[in-house]
Amino acid sequence: MGVLALQGDTREHLAALRAAGAEATTVRRPAELERVDALVIPGGESTTMSHLLREFELLEPLRARLADGMPAYGSCAGMILLATEIVDAGVPGREAVPLRGIDMTVRRNAFGRQVDSFEEDIDFEGLDGPVHAVFIRAPWVERVGPEVEVLATAAGHPVAVRQGRMLATSFHPEMTGDRRVHAMFVDSI
């Protein structure tokens, strides 16, 4: 299993995956992407990550792997990138680029700016007890396709979704020490 290591909280996801029983490695190049059976796309800055996907020639190979059914989990910026459509994608020429992995429309920075970041306990379908969610310049989901299952909501909007073997959260479970979301992803593979 790989963690996209272009920008963002890679180390925390590697630790969470390993704690959930997965062998995890970083992915920065197309050859590394070819060697993994699943991928985590971490939080970070979605427009910067999109730029780096192009620079490292990973954008089209990653889209192809996702279209072929490679399991993926995206948190925060990773959720944005896994979408089929992004609202407020960024300034022209520096937009966040949808990977089209999950049939959803995501709004970047939906909960507000950095100073509006917050933490909240939320109910999460399929997990025992609430999840402590850390929202940092977080997105939310504005539309889900018919095959998308909403797993959690906050402020009336979906913040965790699953479609087949793809999972996305608008919050950062890797920052809390609660490994249940990562375990759910690992177990789905």
**Residue 76 is a catalytic residue:** yes
Single out the catalytic residue among 12, 13, 51, 172: 172
* Chain-centroid distance, C-alpha 37: 16
State yes or no: 136 annotated in a binding site. Answer: yes
State yes or no: 165 annotated in a binding site. Answer: no
**Residue 174 is a catalytic residue:** yes
User: In which element (H, E) is residue 184 found?
Assistant: helix 180-188
**Residue 51 is a catalytic residue:** no
The beta-strand segments (E) located in the chain are 2-4, 25-27, 39-41, 72-75, 83-87, 102-107, 118-122, 131-135, 140-144, 149-154, 157-163, 166-169
118-125 own/partner pairs: CB under 8 Å, 24+ apart: 120/154, 122/152, 122/153, 122/154, 122/159, 122/160, 122/171, 123/152, 124/151, 124/152, 124/160, 124/180, 124/181, 125/149, 125/150, 125/151, 125/152, 125/160
Single out the catalytic residue among 12, 51, 174, 182: 174
Q: What is the DSSP letter of 148?
A: P
State yes or no: 46 annotated in a binding site. Answer: yes
Single out the catalytic residue among 76, 85, 132, 142: 76
State yes or no: 108 annotated in a binding site. Answer: yes
State yes or no: 50 annotated in a binding site. Answer: no
Residues annotated as catalytic are 76, 172, 174
User: Annotated binding site for L-glutamine, which residues?
Assistant: 44-46, 108, 136-137
Binding positions? 44-46, 108, 136-137
